[in-house]
Amino acid sequence: MNLVETIRIALSSLSANKLRSALTMLGIIIGVGAVITLLALGGAIQTLVTRELQGLGSNLVFVFPGTNDPEQNRRVPPRLTNEDVAALADPLNVPAAAAVTPQLTRGALIVYAGAGFDGRVAGVTPNYPQVRNARVVSGRFFDQTELDLRSRVAVIGADVRASLFPDEDPIGKRIRINDVSFEVIGEMAPRGGNFGPSEDNLVFVPITTAQTRLFPPPPGAVSRIDVSVVYIQAVDERRIDDVIDQVTEVLRRRNGLTFQDNNFTIVTQQDLIASFGTITGALTAFLGAIAAISLLVGGIGIMNIMLVSVTERTREIGLRKAVGARRRDIRFQFVIEATMLSLLGGLLGIALGYALSALGTALLQGVAEGAEARVQLDAILLATLTSIAVGLIFGIYPAVRASRLNPIDALRYE
């Protein structure tokens, strides 16, 4: 019996019991659709994470005081001072750096006309917008003169604007930060959280003003931490490793860390992207494995229905053997039927996956503009090959059982 005739007979057999065939395929349809959808959503989330992290700036290196090990922080107290920042900004010390900007962040109460906003103050330098890819939508950012004079000027985030100035232009108005008066000179474009605290509830002031007028160090402080983080922009992506080596050397030398561990932490954008990529990849694989259970259930359903089919068609099998059909012909016939059943379910599952991915795209775009759950070709190939494999694996036993029927007993079967 040739392959075309075998497929024709298989389709004829499946169409004779349409409802039973459809219910049998349901597990495969759901499983394949779920796997395709989850892979598409996982890819969309990973792309979104990468895009958001790249939005922090270009070729950035982050330097934080202290480490994640409390015991190490006790042995070597965290320290990141203004002098350290000046040393890092010196092109003779870190020639691979294109720009350096420090940031001191503290919580604060921002008040205007009797209304209060519980936000945060970020003391930064004038080059912050360029280094961090931030944008001023109204007014301006402060300049070097205002930094040197420790001026009381402020640039507010989008949430601060919405809370304190819902119906008026904030430029030129005076706000109070921890009971110190500041003039609003600019407003930042919305940026969101970038997987951390939202930057829209920040008020940007000159770092010199933050350090001396808003958050002066407590009397008798032993461990100086003048800045919360230092952002260093590498000349280009290929020089990031050079920046890390040069920053490490400068800070270890300044802190006298000859044999001790570092009392600072260096993180790059690539580190963040890789970490989030690993997390999202593992989560996608985990959810995909859960969805694949539906394929297992669907495979068991196919085996069950094929065993029923063998029982129902016992006389047909006996008649075929009586007219010369060999065991391998019977095996081949039932394996093809199981495979066709699984493959048809897989094709319908791919269509379901496309529909659910489109729905997922609509939901994601409600959260993050531009997010898209795309069904990848490798996901379609994986689903198709998996469907065929399920049909083959779970169709073999019923096929073998059918091929072993005794023709005489089969012809007598009622």
Q: Give the DSSP per-residue string, 12-26.
A: HHHHHTHHHHHHHHH
> Quick one: pLDDT at residue 232?
93
* Mean pLDDT in residue range 261-268: 87
Are 303 and 264 spatial neighbours (Cβ–Cβ below 8 Å)?
no
- 400/353: higher pLDDT: 353
Residue for token pair 């461990």: 223
pLDDT per residue as tens digits for the range 325-369: 677 777 777 788 788 888 888 888 888 888 888 887 777 776 666
% residues pLDDT > 70 (the chain):
83
> Quick one: pLDDT at residue 37?
84
Strands 229-234 and 60-65: antiparallel
> Quick one: pLDDT at residue 367?
61
In this structure, the number of other CB atoms found within 10 A of the CB of residue 164 comes to 22
Three-class SS state of 171: coil
* Mean pLDDT in residue range 13-32: 78
Residues 6+ apart with CB under 8 A from 308: none
pLDDT per residue as tens digits for the range 40-99: 887 777 777 766 666 565 688 999 998 887 877 777 788 899 999 999 999 999 999 999
CA nearest to 301, candidates 15, 22, 16, 12: 22
Is pLDDT above 80 for 118? yes
> Quick one: pLDDT at residue 258?
80
- Paired tokens of 353: 């996956």
CA dist 354 and 19 (Å) reads 24
> Quick one: pLDDT at residue 218?
73
CA dist 243 and 175 (Å) reads 39
CA nearest to 376, candidates 54, 52, 42: 42
* Mean pLDDT in residue range 304-331: 71
Q: What is the mean pLDDT of the chain?
A: 81
- 172/413: higher pLDDT: 172
- 315/43: higher pLDDT: 43
| Dihedral sign for Cα atoms in the order 291, 292, 293, 296 | positive
- Paired tokens of 103: 């940031």
> Quick one: pLDDT at residue 408?
57
> Quick one: pLDDT at residue 409?
55
CA dist 403 and 401 (Å) reads 6
- Paired tokens of 117: 């906003």
Q: How confident is the model at residue 129 (pLDDT cuts 50, 70, 90)?
A: very high
Is pLDDT above 60 for 412? no
* Mean pLDDT in residue range 164-189: 93
Is pLDDT above 60 for 411? no
* Mean pLDDT in residue range 308-327: 69
> Quick one: pLDDT at residue 223?
64
- Paired tokens of 45: 């989330």
> Quick one: pLDDT at residue 230?
94
| b/e 34-60 (16+ beta carbons within 10 angstroms → b) | bbbbbbbbbbbbbbbbbebbbebbebb
Three-class SS state of 63: strand
* Least confident residue range of 7-11, 111-115, 139-143, 388-392: 7-11
CA dist 106 and 85 (Å) reads 19
CA dist 345 and 393 (Å) reads 15
> Quick one: pLDDT at residue 125?
95
pLDDT per residue as tens digits for the range 183-241: 999 999 988 655 557 788 999 999 999 999 998 877 765 567 889 999 999 988 888 88
* Mean pLDDT in residue range 305-324: 70
Residue for token pair 């007014």: 139
